[in-house]
Amino acid sequence: MTIACKAPLNETTLTGGSSSIDGERRSFSGTREQILEDIASYESLGVSDLIFDFHAVTLEQGLERMERFAGWVRL
């Protein structure tokens, strides 16, 4: 069985900020270390696939965000 999780990523997420209204950090936001911890936590719960939704206005902006995020989380 495959367990997948889809998470939105926006500019706030990709600059180390918290994108939550109540001030609590949302999963897959914050610092590089926090995002890596989130990935490890989901993996320990059995999630095998993470699907990130890179909110962007243009294709170029979306690709730039994907490349930046990939460089950020690459182990």
Evaluate if residue 19 carries a pLDDT over 60: no
Residue 23: the pLDDT is 74
Residue 11: the pLDDT is 64
Whether the model pTM is above 0.85: no
**Other CB atoms within 10 A of residue 35 CB:** 21
pLDDT per residue as tens digits for the range 22-62: 778 888 888 888 889 999 999 999 999 999 988 889 999 99
Give the mean model confidence (pLDDT) for residues 61-73: 88
Residue 43: the pLDDT is 93
